């Protein structure tokens, strides 16, 4: 499977994908890593791995639609089968992403549908939640609102802070993203008009990778 990855920052999720591929655990070809942040560490990681990169700064575009149209036409030129949003911190234009329905996934640091958007760790703490986690979902034009494929959970502990939660969740995010992408690459996951299909049957609840050991770093 040909995969393009969109990133904005540190790129630890991207690195987990690269490492899993290098270990022979993820049968994908990374055809492009693209970023809205020219100085993103994630782009350096991609270069180090010999993956083609694209840095496209939104400055200089008239509006979101113009930027996204250009970004996605350049992504399309790389002919990916799938786009992975791995810490891509921009809201996407509905028209630009419509052709990619069922072919674009995102990792989000909450147990969706809880806490779409930003500051998920702080919001889980403020709500007094006992558990927290991350989700991988198909991207639709609703922010962090597309059908959820899989989740990983962590317990919340007394004294947790947004930073401690983020640190404890991050390695689980890496496992979750690798495990989910490997299912997608094996064509075991799809999106139809009613939602996620897993091994040919409707997925009634997100897959849980709570105890997943794949791709831990
Ligand atoms: C992750 O927490 C991801 O879930 C969120 O942004 C963070 C990206 O981290 N959307 P990294 O750039 O992959 O290290």
The CATH number linked to 188 is 3.40.50.170
Please tell me the residue having the least CA distance from ligand 1 atom 6.
87
Q: Return the pLDDT at 210.
A: 80
Total tally of structural domains belonging to the chain: 1
Respond yes or no: is residue 108 known to be catalytic.
yes
The residue ranking higher by pLDDT, 60 or 210, is 60
Angle (CA) 12-15-17 rounded to 5° is: 115
Whether pLDDT at 8 is above 50:
yes
Average pLDDT of the segment spanning 84-111: 97
Whether pLDDT at 16 is above 50:
yes
Regarding the beta carbon of 12 and ligand 1, being less than 6 Å apart is answered yes
pLDDT, averaged across the chain: 96
Regarding the beta carbon of 133 and ligand 1, being less than 6 Å apart is answered no
Please tell me the residue having the least CA distance from ligand 1 atom 1.
87
Regarding the beta carbon of 173 and ligand 1, being less than 6 Å apart is answered yes
Task: Give the model confidence (pLDDT) of 126-183 as tens digits.
Answer: 999 999 999 999 999 999 999 999 999 999 999 999 999 999 999 999 999 999 999 9
Regarding the beta carbon of 15 and ligand 1, being less than 6 Å apart is answered no
Average pLDDT of the segment spanning 23-39: 98
Q: Return the pLDDT at 214.
A: 44
Q: Which of 108, 121, 137, 174 is catalytic?
A: 108
Q: pLDDT band for position 216 (50/70/90)?
A: very low
DSSP 118-154: S-HHHHHHHTT-SEEEEEEEE--SSTT-SPEEEEEEE
Ligand 1 centroid distance, CA of 87 (Å): 4
Residue ranges making up the domain that contains 26: 2-214
Regarding the beta carbon of 11 and ligand 1, being less than 6 Å apart is answered yes
Q: pLDDT band for position 202 (50/70/90)?
A: very high
Average pLDDT of the segment spanning 103-130: 98
């Amino acid at each position: 499977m040909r995969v393009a990855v969109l990133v904005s920052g540190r790129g630890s999720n991207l690195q987990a994908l690269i490492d899993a591929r290098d270990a022979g655990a993820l049968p994908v070809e990374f055809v492009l890593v693209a970023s809205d942040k020219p100085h993103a560490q994630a782009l350096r990681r991609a270069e180090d791995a010999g993956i083609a990169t694209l840095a496209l700064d939104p400055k200089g575009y008239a509006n979101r639609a113009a930027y996204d149209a250009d970004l996605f036409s350049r992504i399309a030129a790389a002919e990916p089968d799938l786009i992975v949003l791995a810490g891509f911190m921009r809201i996407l234009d509905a028209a630009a992403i419509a052709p990619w329905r069922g072919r674009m996934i995102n990792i989000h640091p909450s147990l969706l549908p809880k806490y779409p958007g930003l500051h998920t760790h702080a919001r889980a703490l403020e709500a007094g939640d006992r558990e927290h986690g991350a989700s991988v979902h198909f991207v639709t034009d609703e922010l962090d609102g597309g059908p959820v494929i899989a989740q990983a959970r962590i317990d919340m502990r007394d004294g947790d802070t947004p930073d401690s939660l983020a640190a404890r969740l991050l390695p689980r995010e890496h496992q979750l993203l690798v495990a989910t992408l490997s299912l997608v690459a094996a064509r075991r996951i799809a999106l139809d008009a009613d939602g996620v299909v897993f091994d040919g049957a409707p997925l009634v609840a997100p897959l849980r990778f709570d105890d997943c050991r794949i791709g831990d770093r």
